Chains A and B, each alone.
Chain A
Amino acid sequence: EVQLVESGGDLVQPGRSLRLSCKASGFTFDDYAMHWVRQPPGKGLEWVSGINWNSGTISYAASVKGRFTISRDNAKNSLYLQMNSLRREDTAFYYCTKDSNAAPGGRFGNWGQGTLVTVSS
């Protein structure tokens, strides 16, 4: 059974940094691209970033480009999101999701339970 477990969400002040982690199990992690998708409480979904199986292809939403960095460690079956210069509008549940392909561009068939990031002073 595919499992994705996010961690690292917290209350953080504007301008500070935070690192999210996603631990994957139940599938061959380095066969698939991975993504982060976020959802402000009570609002819709926003794709944040994606990474292919070997970290050779990475993309970001315009709203986070230059501030967030996605990475993965295939030896640890883990996906990460380093978030710098956080803004109040980054407040959201952050979901880790598995692509159906090794390169980003397939469907998001498996999702974690989400971790909440709150940016507030």
Chain B
Amino acid sequence: ESVLTQSPATLSLSPGESATLSCRASQSVGTYLTWYQQKPGRAPRLLIYDASTRATGIPPRFSGSGSGTDFTLTISSLEPEDFAVYYCQQRSDNWPPVFTFGGGTKVEI
């Protein structure tokens, strides 16, 4: 079963700066890679699916890229509301599928 490794664990940045988050899969997942944002005390929110497609209502400063085993979530200019924990997620190739989350990257001020 493929494992997802996110790095760094914590990213300390200021509003207006750019954030680059990495997610590496131990086996190729094609472009089935999803990103979620979670704020304290809240449920996760879908950000990006199929590696690079923004979910409905997600601002264009969020972008995803990558395929195979290496993926990146970029936040081009951090807004105060972007400070949160970000998780990547994959789906297995077998049927029925199982799903795996990465350990998360905390973007802090």
Spell out A's residues near B (CB within 8 Å). Answer: 35, 37, 44-47, 50, 52, 57-62, 95, 100, 104-109, 111-114
Quick one: given A104-B96, A107-B49, A107-B55, are A112 and B101 in contact (CB under 8 Å)?
Answer: no
Interface size (B, Cβ < 8 Å)?
Answer: 23
Q: Which residues of A contact B98 (CB under 8 A)?
A: 47, 59-61
Cβ distance B59 to chain A, nearest Cβ, rounded Å = 17
**B97: Cβ under 8 A from any A Cβ:** yes
Contact A45 B96 (CB under 8 A): no
Contact A47 B99 (CB under 8 A): yes
Query: Could you list 24 A-B pairs, sorted by A, with CB under 8 Å?
Result: A35-B99, A44-B102, A44-B104, A45-B101, A47-B99, A47-B101, A52-B96, A57-B96, A58-B96, A59-B96, A60-B98, A62-B1, A95-B44, A100-B49, A105-B91, A105-B97, A107-B34, A107-B49, A108-B34, A108-B36, A108-B46, A109-B46, A111-B44, A112-B43
